[in-house]
Amino acid sequence: MKRMTSALLALAIAAAPAASLAQEEASGDGVGLGGRIEVSGAGYAVTFPEDWVHIRPTQGDAEVILDEVSRVAPGLAPTIEAALAGGLAFSVLAYGVSTDGFVENCNILDRIADGRSIDQVAAGEVTNLEGLGEFIDSGPDLTFIEIPIDRIARIDVGLRLPDTDLESTSYIIVDADWIHTMSCTGDARPTDAWASIVETFELLPLEG
């Protein structure tokens, strides 16, 4: 049951509405607006659209992060607080806010690969999602795609939750040491916005 709950949280953490972005600069205390960020401990960098808020949960104190989110993106703090308290060690939380206030997001979760291939990891993720049962409206549909750095897995799923229906796409990248899963969720699946984010993925030399 723990794995099922974790999968649902990873996909549905964007279900809460939020206000639009404030016209302020982020201070850098684990919170930023758009641009390229490096997750050097897990060996990669990724770039987000300019109007997206990105949060590095391990880059600062949780209270400082929540205060900064409240300043930069009013109304988003409750969603971030739920994510920080959810028990998953997200490396990155990133949110875009539409004109009607609905949040779409792409969260990145990094795990040790332990020698598993992309095919093995993707098959396991599909099985895990199928375990969500009543919450699944469509899918999960697995395909493999090419991005500049490698062949990766893409899993599309429609979620049926008590208060809303969501569309989600997970992108899975497996390198020699890490599994990087970017789970993107919103009230509609954009034609290219999420794919354009994952295509910016760069693998970096690991620290140490």
Domain span at 114 = 2-203
Per-residue pLDDT of the chain (208 residues; tens, 9 = 90+): 334 334 444 444 444 444 333 333 333 447 777 889 888 888 999 999 887 888 887 655 666 666 666 666 666 666 667 666 655 577 888 888 655 555 688 889 899 999 999 999 999 999 988 888 888 888 899 999 999 999 999 999 988 877 777 888 999 999 989 999 998 988 777 667 788 899 999 998 876 5
What is residue 47's predicted lDDT score, i.e. its pLDDT? 93
Residue 98: predicted pLDDT: 58
Structure tokens at 34: 């758009």
Say what the pLDDT of residue 21 is: 36
208 is a domain residue: no
CA distance 172 to 151: 9
pLDDT at 3: 40
pLDDT for 152: 95
Q: Please tell me the total count of domains within the chain.
A: 1
Q: Is the dihedral of CA 82, 85, 90, 91 positive or negative?
A: positive
Model pTM?
A: 0.79
Does 59 reside within a domain? yes
Task: For tokens 């910016």, name the residue.
Answer: 200
Residue of 182, 204, 24, 45 whose CA lies nearest to 105: 182
What is the domain-level CATH number for residue 138? Answer: 3.40.1000.10
